[in-house]
A and B are shown apart, each in its own frame.
With several copies, the nearest count.
Chain A
Amino acid sequence: MDFNFTEEQTMLRDMLSRYLADTYDFDTRQKVVREGKGWNPAVWKAFAEELGILGASFSEAHGGLGGGAIENMVLMEEMGRAIVLEPYLSTVVIGGGALKHVGGAVADAVIPGIIAGTTRIAFAAYEPQGRFYLNDLTTTLKGGMLNGQKAVVESAAHATHLLVTARTGGAQRDAGGIALLLIPADAPGITRRDYLTVHGTSASEVYFENVAVGAEHVLRADALPLIEQIVDEATAAVCAEACGVLKVLHAQTLDYAKQRKQFGKAIGDFQVIQHRLVDMFMEVEQAVSMTMMATLKLDTPERSAAASMAKAKVGKAAKFVGQNAVQIHGGIGITQELAVGHYFKRATLIENLFGSVDFHLSRYEGIALAA
C-alpha cells in the first residue's frame, strides 16, 4: 500500500495549479461566464498545447504521458479548486475513457485529436424520463437510424463528437440491448437547445431525428457494463473535482472567520463557528480519503461499490461544506460578488451529478448488502 504521488504526478499538479493561479482568477472566470458561451476555447488550447495535460491519462502509444485514473484525479482536483468551466470531464475522462476501453482503430483515430485539443466529446447518456438510471432509455437505434432525446448534455455546444447511449433492443429499462455510439456532433438530424447551467457551463437538450449511424460509430453493441464502468470512472473524477471545490470553500470560510468581526471579536473566536469549521474540515478530509479509495479501486472488482460509496460520502460533504460556507459568510455568501457563492453552486450541482446520495447508497446496497 502506498498513498504517495509520483514525482510526475506532483509536477503535473503543480503545473496546472500555477497556470490556473496565473490565468484563471475569479474575475476572469466570471467574465467568461457572463459572455454566455460556457467555456473559453483559449484555455482549452492552452491545456492542450501550452500545458499538454490533455494527454496525461493516455498511453504513450496514443501520444499521451502514460498516466491514468490517478492523473485524472490530480487534474480534476485542481480544476475544482478554480471551478474550471472547460470540458475535461466529458472529453478526457468520459470520452477518452470509453475509447481507451474500446481500443482498436477508433481509439487510434480519435485519441490523438483529444490530446491535441481539437476533438471534444460530450456524453449524451441521461434522458428526461430516466433520472440517474443509465439503463432507462427511450432513445433508439433501429435500422441504422438514431431517434430520441438526451437531457442536459454538458458541453454539447462545443463538442466535435457525441458519446451516445441508445437502445437497440429490449424494454425501456432492460440491461441488455444498449449500444454505445460515438458520432459526429454535426451529423444530419441532430438538433440542440443550448442553455447555461447554474455552474456557468453550457449544456443542451440534444434531439436525434433519423440520424444515420453506421457500424463504424458503434463503440460497443452490448454496452451497459462498459457504460457503468466509464461512469464509475467519471464519478471518481467528479469526486476529485469536489475535493478541490470543498478545500477552497473551507479555506475561504476559515479565512473569512478569522477576519470578520462581530460583537467585538472575530467570528472564528466563537466556539460554535470553530466546531462548525472543524466539522467541515473533517468532511473534506474524508471526501479526499474516499476519492483516493474510489480512484485506486477503479480496476478492481470493487469498482462500482467503491465509486458509489465515495459519491455518497462526497455528496453529503458537498452539501454540508457548501451550506455552512455560505452560512458562516452570512449575507455576502449568497451574492454573486464573492467567489464562495460560486463554489457553493458547483458543490450543489455535484451532489446530483451521476446520481444523488440516495441513488448511490441504493446502488451500493444492491451490490454489497443483499438481504
Chain B
Amino acid sequence: MDLNFSAEDVAFREEVRAFIRDHYPAYLHDKIDEGEEMEKQDFLAWHKVLHAKGWIAPAWPVEYGGTGWTATQRYIWSEETARADCVRLMPFGLSMVGPVIYTFGTPEQKAKFLPRILSGEDWWCQGYSEPGSGSDLASLRTRAERFTGEDGKEYYRVNGQKTWTTMAQHADWGFFLVRTDPAAKMQEGISFLLIDMKTPGITVRPIITLGGEHEVNEVWLEDVIVPVENRVFHENKGWTCAKFLLAHERTGIAGVAASKRNVERIKQVARNTADGGDALLANPFFKRKIAELEVDLAALEYTELRTLAGESSGKGPGPESSLLKIKGTEIQQRLTELALEAAGTYGAPYFRSMGEGDNSFAVGPDSARRVAPVYFNMRKTSIYGGSNEIQRNIIAKMVLGL
C-alpha cells in the first residue's frame, strides 16, 4: 500500500505535461477563460490532436486502439488534463458506444465503427430516455419491427420518440434502445441498435434548458429503416449492453479531476472578490464551504482510486460505481452553488436572453458571467445517467442485498 508514483510514472507525467503544453489548442483556453460555451468544432479540435498522438482512448484495449496505460497512468492522464483545464471530450462515442461495440459487437461492426469513433469522424448520440420512461428506463416504448426488405435483406422498422438526447443536433450516428419483442417483460425484448442519424424519418427537435442552452433534444423516429447488421449483440438482449454501459457511464461521471480544477477556480474567484473590506476567501463561512468541498472531494478521489485498484485487480466496475456517481454529482452541484454565491448581486444578470447570442457586453466580474445558467444546468447531473435516487436503489439492492 503506497501512494507514491514510480519513476516510470513520474516520467510519464512529465511527458503528458509537455504534450499538453505543446499541443493543446491555445484558443480553447481563451474560450474557457471568457466563459464561452464550447461548440462541436472545439471538442473536435482537441479530439483530433489526441487521435493523431494515439492517446484518444486510454481506457480501450490496445487491440482496438487503446494506449495500454496502467490504471495509475490513466489517473495521471485525467489529473493532468484537468489541471491544464483541457476541454472535456464527448463521451458518447469514446466512453459509451465504443466499449459496447468492442465488447459485444461483431468483427464487422468493430471494423466499421471503432476507427471512426477514434478519429472523431463520427459524432455519436444516445437514444435511451423516452418521455414516459425517465428513471424507469426499461419501460421504453420505441418499437422496432423486423421485416425482410425487397432486397431480401433483414431490417427493422423503428417508430417512437426519444428525449434528453444530448448533442443530437450534431450527431452522425446514434445508439438506441428499442423494443423488439413487445410481449416480453420490461427488460427483456429490448435490442441495442446503431442508427445513422441521416436516415429518413428521423427528426431532431431542440429542448432549451433553464440556462438557455441547446444541449438536449427530442428525437422522433418515424418508420426509420435500420439494417439488422446494425444491431449490437443478440436480439432482445440489448439490456445487457445497456447495463454494461450504465455502469461504465457512472465511473466517468465522478469527474474528480474536473472538480479539483473547479475548486481551484472558485478559490481564485473568492480571493479576488471583496467581502466587507476583506477577500471573500477570508470569510470564515465561505472558506469553510470550500474546505468541506475539498474534504469531500478527497474522499471521492480516494474512493475512486480504491475502485480503480479493485478493477485493475480483475473486478469490473460494479454497483459501487453508483457511489461515485452520487458523490461526484453532488460535488459538481455544490461547486456551482458556491460560484453563484460568490457572484453575489452579479449572479442575477442574464446575458443570453438579451437577444440570441448577444454576448457583446457584460457587467460585473467575468467570473460571475454565467454562474446562474451553469448552476441551473448542472441540476441535470443528479437526474441523468440514472437519477441519484435510482443509484441509491441500485446500491440498496446490489450491494446491501435489500
Contact = CB atoms under 8 A, between A and B. Distances in A.
Q: Are A and B in contact, CB atoms below 8 Å, in the complex?
A: yes
Contact of A331 (B299, B309, B383): B383
A274 interface: yes
B75 A1 contact: yes
Interface string B328-356: 00000000010011001111111101110
A274 to B, nearest CB: 4
A1 B402 contact: no
B290 interface: yes
A326 B134 CA distance: 14
Contacts, number: 264
Interface centre among A173, A323, A330 (most CB of B within 10 A): A330
A237 to B, nearest CB: 15
B77 interface: no
A368 B294 contact: yes
A336 interface: yes
Interface stretch (B174-182, B225-233, B269-277): B269-277
A3 B1 contact: yes
Contacts of B361: 193
Contact of A281 (B296, B306, B373, B395): B395
Interface string A189-214: 00001011111000101000000000
B348 A262 contact: no
B190 interface: no
A364 interface: yes
Contacts of B384: 331
Interface string B264-297: 0001000101111111111101111011101110
Contacts of B5: 1
A152 B402 contact: no
Interface stretch (B45-53, B97-105, B194-202, B205-213): B205-213
Interface stretch (A21-29, A223-231, A241-249, A287-295): A287-295
Interface string A283-325: 0011111101100110010000000010011000001000100
A274 B348 contact: no
* Count class of interface residues, chain B: 35 or more
B345 A151 contact: yes
Contact of A195 (B2, B340, B354): B354
10 contacts: A152-B364, A198-B349, A262-B139, A274-B392, A275-B392, A281-B395, A292-B306, A293-B302, A313-B296, A361-B291
Contact of A334 (B163, B283, B346, B376): B376
Contacts of A119: none
A70 B71 CA distance: 22
Contact of B274 (A131, A287, A342): A131
A278 interface: yes
A70 B296 CA distance: 23
Sort A-B residue pairs by CB-CB distance and give the 5 closest, nearest first: A289-B302, A371-B282, A286-B299, A262-B136, A274-B396
